[in-house]
């Protein structure tokens, strides 16, 4: 949530680089943006409401700059609420939430003329007071960080001395070490075009970037620490839209190859993962949003393939089940970004009780991957569109593979997945997309849309609803096929579109019940059925059917978004990486 990026060094391109690099973090938030740059005149701030990709910034000779792309939490989308925030000689950009900020804001209101409604400005105010009272930047940051409850990452510039200070607790910050410049960002893509050599800042650590040098301290002990330079493997090209109008469609089409990449796991890692699962007294699989639906699909795979009951809980709901996370529990975290706050909070709890943390994540360098005993990489490359597509199928693929590994039928699972990947490759073609677009045109003005699925297609019905909602803003809801008649069927009227996943007899009976009440049926299945008014064919993938069934819905959602005039890559109110609770 919120992208932050800072650059120091000898080259006078810091502000230009921050402005360019921040665009690569826009998926973290795109309500407003701002840059603070330091040149010979001092620190100057530019802010604009709206997307940074649509913004403009004048050129400058800055050798240091910090920038921020905002997803509003405290205070609406206004220029005053945009970052950076300046109080006295202190300029701050902040990602995260200062949960107890109000108590400090109230105390300081007589002393400070607050310009915004944000929690972030209170951090700047507290730092300003510390500096006024004679603290050094390091002392001020150490003390103020200890006052903040909640997860955060901040970058700070002081009028009184050059350089950028950074502190992290709970929200990611990664340094990029280049030649003439040093970078610090909430995500690697901000500086990937400049360098792939990184240092990870861990929780409760502070960094001071001055020129191309960086000093690191442990925030709690005050001791200086050394950091190792690590080379990361990221493919710049795959973070680019290429010839496609949007990342979403590019990423949907990439599934022709990405599923095969996800299948191609290191067998030793898979074995280590399953050994940990087999040793565990209980297995909890957690995730948020789409990843939670991939977790649910995995729950079905374990039941159907391995005869093993696993527990699936949305990460934000784990609190009620915490007592069941014990030293012999295996916690499996599914997360595209590996930074989602709700997940990281459970991970921290699991670590505190010595439970085993395992993960399936697309960002091998993420906080989650680094906290895991075994982290299986989803390997689909950077996913930029807010609506998850290729990461979803990558996660489902690995869930399926793990269920087979657990059942000691790994090779069989591999065979099914390879067959599905080949069929998906054939399925995704321009004619298929045109057909789905023609269906989207028929239903683009609908207010409601329902999706039903049975067994492992039930989580896909839920995921289908998320996909349609988030980019088209149509009210879409997914149900277990048999559950629809226990209430929601009252919502069906003449012409209500209903998507039916699967062609098994019971689901077709449910589709018939819907049709008798006026519903128009869009079937997604391997065979065409008389009850279908429209049919989107998918190949037979045996028990891996969830994998193939979500793809036509992704394409449908994309076309709904375009036909309704929305930006599919940056839907309203959403962000890709949710690092606040
Ligand atoms: C946000 C994104 C979703 C994603 C969820 C979990 O809500 O918009 O697409 O599924 O976060 O993110 P994660 O990175 O943990 O998979």
Which 8-state DSSP code applies to residue 374? Answer: E
What is the per-residue pLDDT for 235? 63
N- to C-terminal Cα distance for the chain?
10
Q: Over range 179-202, report the average pLDDT.
A: 92
- pLDDT higher than threshold 90 for residue 36: yes
Ligand 1 atom index nearest CA of 292: 10
Sorted by sequence, the CB contacts under 8 Å of residue 578 that are 6+ apart come out as: 1, 288, 289, 340, 341, 342
Query: What's the gap in Å between 3 CA and the centre of ligand 1?
Result: 15
- Count of other CB atoms within 10 angstroms of residue 134: 8
291-311 pLDDT, tens digit per residue, is: 999 999 999 999 999 999 999
Which residue's CA is the closest to the ligand 1 atom numbered 2? 576
- Identify the H or E element spanning 35: strand 32-39
Query: What's the gap in Å between 575 CA and the centre of ligand 1?
Result: 8
What is the per-residue pLDDT for 574? 80
CA separation for the pair 161, 180 (Å, rounded) = 20
Which 8-state DSSP code applies to residue 519? Answer: P
- pLDDT higher than threshold 70 for residue 204: yes
3-state secondary structure of 236: coil
Ligand 1 atom index nearest CA of 395: 16
What beta strand segments (E) does 148-221 contain?
Answer: 152-158, 161-169, 174-177, 181-185, 197-200, 205-210, 213-218
CA separation for the pair 20, 231 (Å, rounded) = 22
CA separation for the pair 246, 290 (Å, rounded) = 20
Ligand 1 atom index nearest CA of 575: 8
Q: Over range 61-65, report the average pLDDT.
A: 94
Closest alpha carbon to 541 in 445, 456, 459: 456
Question: Which residue from 28, 248, 288 has its CB within 8 A of the most atoms of ligand 1, so it is best to mutate?
Answer: 288
125-165 pLDDT, tens digit per residue, is: 999 999 999 999 999 999 999 999 999 999 999 999 999 99
Active-site residue flag, 322 = no
Which residue's CA is the closest to the ligand 1 atom numbered 1? 576
Which 8-state DSSP code applies to residue 170? Answer: B
Q: Measured from the CB, is residue 13 less than 6 Å from ligand 1?
A: no
Query: What's the gap in Å between 270 CA and the centre of ligand 1?
Result: 24
Q: Measured from the CB, is residue 395 less than 6 Å from ligand 1?
A: no
440-485 pLDDT, tens digit per residue, is: 999 999 999 999 999 999 999 999 999 999 999 999 999 999 998 8
250-279 pLDDT, tens digit per residue, is: 999 999 999 999 999 999 999 999 999 999
What is the per-residue pLDDT for 29? 79
240-252 pLDDT, tens digit per residue, is: 788 899 999 999 9
Region label for 460, one of left (φ > 0), alpha (ψ between -120 and 50) or beta (otherwise):
alpha
| CB half-sphere exposure, 124, CA atoms < 13 A | 27
Q: Over range 97-106, report the average pLDDT.
A: 95
What is the per-residue pLDDT for 240? 74
Tokens of 47: 């802010």
Q: Measured from the CB, is residue 288 less than 6 Å from ligand 1?
A: yes
pLDDT category at 31 given cuts 50, 70, 90 is confident
Query: What's the gap in Å between 291 CA and the centre of ligand 1?
Result: 7
**Bridge partners, residue 168, by sequence:** 153, 205
Look up the CATH architecture of domain 3-238. 4-Layer Sandwich (3.60)
- pLDDT higher than threshold 80 for residue 231: yes
**What percentage of the chain reaches a pLDDT higher than 70?**
98
CA separation for the pair 198, 79 (Å, rounded) = 33
* Per-chain mean pLDDT for the chain: 94
Q: Measured from the CB, is residue 378 less than 6 Å from ligand 1?
A: no
Query: What's the gap in Å between 576 CA and the centre of ligand 1?
Result: 6
Tokens of 341: 């706050």
Query: What's the gap in Å between 578 CA and the centre of ligand 1?
Result: 7
Which residue's CA is the closest to the ligand 1 atom numbered 15? 335
**Pairing label, strands 356-361, 329-335:** parallel
pLDDT category at 286 given cuts 50, 70, 90 is very high
What beta strand segments (E) does 77-134 contain?
Answer: 85-87, 90-96
What is the per-residue pLDDT for 580? 65
8 Å CB contact between 101 and 59 = no
Question: CATH classification of 247-563, choosing from 3.30.1660.40, 3.40.640.10, 3.40.50.10490, 3.90.580.10?
Answer: 3.40.50.10490
CA separation for the pair 212, 9 (Å, rounded) = 5
Closest alpha carbon to 92 in 201, 165, 172, 185: 165
pLDDT category at 232 given cuts 50, 70, 90 is confident
Question: Which residue from 577, 579, 580, 581 has its CB within 8 A of the most atoms of ligand 1, so it is best to mutate?
Answer: 577
CA separation for the pair 341, 579 (Å, rounded) = 4
- pLDDT higher than threshold 90 for residue 1: no
**Pairing label, strands 197-200, 374-377:** unpaired
CA separation for the pair 571, 292 (Å, rounded) = 20
Tokens of 12: 């006078």
3-state secondary structure of 561: helix
Query: What's the gap in Å between 129 CA and the centre of ligand 1?
Result: 38
Instruction: Tell me the domain boundaries of the chain.
Output: 3-238, 247-563
**What percentage of the chain reaches a pLDDT higher than 90?**
85
What are the two backbone dihedrals, phi and then psi, of residue 574, each rounded to the nearest 5 degrees? -105, 170
Q: Measured from the CB, is residue 392 less than 6 Å from ligand 1?
A: no
Tokens of 254: 């990439």
| CB half-sphere exposure, 556, CA atoms < 13 A | 29
Ligand 1 atom index nearest CA of 288: 6
CA separation for the pair 293, 132 (Å, rounded) = 51
Question: Among 379, 384, 467, 576, which one carries the catalytic annotation?
Answer: 576
What is the per-residue pLDDT for 238? 62
What is the per-residue pLDDT for 484? 86
Q: Measured from the CB, is residue 248 less than 6 Å from ligand 1?
A: no
**72 vs 366, residue with greater confidence:** 366
**1 vs 125, residue with greater confidence:** 125
Question: Among 2, 288, 333, 498, which one carries the catalytic annotation?
Answer: 2
- pLDDT higher than threshold 60 for residue 237: no
- pLDDT higher than threshold 60 for residue 537: yes
Active-site residue flag, 576 = yes
């Amino acid at each position: 949530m919120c992208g932050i990026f800072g650059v120091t060094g000898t080259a006078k391109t810091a502000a230009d680089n921050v402005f360019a690099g921040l665009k690569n973090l826009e998926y973290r938030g795109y309500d407003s943006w701002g840059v603070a740059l330091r040149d010979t005149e001092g620190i100057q701030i530019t802010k604009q409401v709206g997307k940074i990709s649509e913004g403009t910034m004048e050129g400058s000779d800055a050798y240091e700059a910090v920038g921020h792309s905002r997803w509003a939490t405290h205070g609406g989308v206004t220029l005053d609420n945009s970052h950076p925030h300046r109080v006295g000689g202190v300029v701050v950009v902040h990602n995260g939430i200062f949960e107890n900020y109000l108590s400090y804001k109230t105390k300081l209101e007589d002393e400070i003329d607050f310009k915004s409604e944000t929690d972030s400005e209170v951090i700047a105010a507290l730092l300003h007071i510390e500096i006024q009272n004679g603290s050094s930047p390091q002392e001020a940051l150490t003390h103020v960080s200890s006052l903040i409850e909640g997860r955060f990452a901040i970058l700070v510039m002081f009028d009184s001395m050059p350089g950028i200070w950074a502190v992290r607790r709970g929200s990611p910050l990664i340094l990029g070490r280049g030649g003439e410049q040093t970078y610090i960002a909430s995500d690697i893509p901000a500086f990937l075009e400049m360098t792939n050599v990184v240092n990870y800042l861990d929780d409760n650590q502070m960094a001071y970037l001055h020129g191309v040098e960086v000093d690191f301290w442990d925030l709690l002990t005050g001791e200086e620490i050394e950091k190792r330079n690590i080379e990361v493997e990221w493919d710049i090209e795959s973070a680019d839209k290429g010839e496609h109008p949007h990342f979403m469609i590019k990423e949907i089409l990439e599934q022709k190859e990405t599923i095969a990449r996800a299948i191609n796991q290191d067998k030793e890692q898979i074995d280590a993962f399953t050994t940990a699962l087999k040793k565990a007294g209980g297995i909890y699989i957690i995730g948020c949003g789409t990843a939670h639906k991939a977790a649910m699909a995995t729950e079905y795979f374990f039941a159907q393939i391995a005869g093993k009951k696993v527990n699936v809980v949305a990460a934000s709901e784990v609190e009620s089940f915490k007592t069941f996370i014990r030293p012999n529990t295996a916690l499996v975290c599914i997360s595209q970004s590996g930074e989602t706050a709700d997940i990281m909070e459970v991970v921290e709890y699991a670590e505190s009780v010595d439970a085993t943390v395992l993960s399936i994540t697309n960002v091998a360098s993420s906080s989650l991957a680094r906290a895991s005993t075994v982290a299986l990489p989803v390997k689909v490359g950077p996913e930029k569109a807010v609506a998850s597509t290729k990461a979803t199928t990558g996660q489902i693929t690995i869930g399926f593979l793990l269920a087979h590994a657990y059942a000691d039928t790994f090779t069989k699972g591999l065979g099914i997945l390879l067959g599905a990947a080949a069929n998906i490759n054939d399925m995704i073609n321009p004619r298929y997309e045109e057909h789905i677009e023609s269906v989207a045109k028929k239903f683009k003005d609908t207010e409601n849309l329902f999706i039903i699925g049975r067994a492992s297609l039930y989580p896909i019905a839920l995921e289908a609803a998320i996909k349609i909602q988030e980019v088209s803003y149509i009210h879409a809801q997914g149900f277990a096929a048999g559950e629809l008649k226990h209430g929601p069927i009252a919502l069906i009227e003449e012409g209500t579109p209903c998507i039916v996943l699967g062609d098994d007899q019971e689901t077709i009976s449910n589709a018939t019940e819907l049709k008798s009440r006026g519903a128009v049926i869009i079937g997604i299945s391997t065979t065409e059925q008389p009850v279908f008014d429209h049919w989107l064919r998918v190949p037979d993938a045996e028990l891996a059917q969830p994998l193939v069934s979500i793809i036509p819905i992704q394409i449908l959602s994309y076309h709904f978004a375009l036909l309704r005039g929305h930006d599919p890559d940056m839907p309203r109110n959403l962000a890709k990486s949710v690092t606040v609770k």
